[in-house]
Amino acid sequence: MAGTARTALVVSAHSADFVWRAGGAIALHAEAGVAVTVICLSYGERGESAKLWRQEGMTLERVKTERRKEAEAAAAHLGVADIQFWDLGDYPIALTQDSLFRLVDVYRALHPQFVLTHSERDIYNHDHPAVTDFAQHARIVAQAHGHNPGQKVLGAPPVFLFEPHQPEQCGWKPDVLLDITAVWAKKRAAIECMAGQEHLWEYYTRVGQQRGAQAARNSDRKVVWGEGYQAVFPHVVERLG
Ligand SMILES: [Zn+2]
Assessment of whether the complete model's pTM goes beyond 0.75: yes
Residues 16, 7: Cα–Cα separation, whole Å: 21
Helix, coil or strand: residue 55: coil
> Separation of 86 CA from ligand 1 center, angstroms?
14
For residue 5, the CA-to-ligand 1 centroid distance in Å is: 29
Q: Which pLDDT tens digits describe the chain residue by residue (241 residues)?
A: 444 689 999 999 999 999 999 999 999 999 999 999 999 999 999 999 999 999 999 999 999 999 999 999 999 999 999 999 999 999 999 999 999 999 999 999 999 999 999 999 999 999 999 999 999 999 999 999 999 999 999 999 999 999 999 999 999 999 999 999 999 999 999 999 998 888 899 999 999 999 999 999 999 999 999 999 999 999 999 999 8
Strand order, beta sheet including 35-40: 82-85, 35-40, 7-12, 115-117, 159-161, 226-231, 176-179
Q: Where are the domains of the chain?
A: 7-231
13 CA to middle of ligand 1, Å? Answer: 5
CATH of 7-231, one of 3.60.110.10, 3.30.590.20, 3.40.50.10490, 3.40.50.10320: 3.40.50.10320
Q: How far is the CA of 42 from the centre of ligand 1 (A)?
A: 9
CA distance 107 to 115: 9
Tell me the residues surrounding ligand 1 (ion) with CB < 5 Å: 13-14, 17
